[in-house]
Amino acid sequence: MSDLNLGRNLKRYTDFFEQLNADNLGQITSVMTEDVHFVDPFNDVNGIESVEKIFKHMFSTLQNPKFKVTHAALDNDSHACGLISWELRSTLHGKPYKIIGMSEVSFAADGRVKAHIDHWDAARQFYEKLPIIGWLLKTIRVRLSV
């Protein structure tokens, strides 16, 4: 895959995620392969149906979730890979909610994503916001910090 095509595929993918909502989720097959491998701090799944289930859950749990891509870059070695920095902004239980993360994406020969691996700090950005476990994790983090 040429760098030019890889750049177009990465742009198409990031554009899709910035526009993603409950109504257009069914179009995800236009940017992901049927056997896509998807990993985030809570899931490690294979297959487009499993990925759709994850996003359906997100849309039913969060109010108005919206991805914003802050940076996107291609792999220097042209291994059909890209890196995407992003923010997910939403409302959860009436309070603003934000996750900042990064995703590694690998492309199939047809230009769709065959692997999407998320990296974000679930302890600080999710678990620390929970009532009891949040207090415990914050306490541990403070005690371990230098």
Q: What residue segments make up the domains of the chain, in order of their start?
A: 3-120
Tens-place pLDDT, residues 34-60: 999 999 999 999 999 999 999 999 999
Tens-place pLDDT, residues 61-82: 889 999 999 999 987 666 689 9
Cα–Cα dist 113/103, whole Å: 12
pLDDT band (50, 70, 90) for residue 138: confident
Residues 6 or more apart whose Cβ sits within 8 Å of residue 120: 40, 41, 99, 100, 101, 102
Q: Which segments of the chain does DSSP mark as H helices, in order?
A: 3-19, 48-61, 122-125, 131-144
Maximum Cα–Cα distance across the chain: 50
CB 6 within 8 A of CB 82: yes
Output the CATH code of domain 3-120.
3.10.450.50
Residues 6 or more apart whose Cβ sits within 8 Å of residue 40: 54, 118, 120
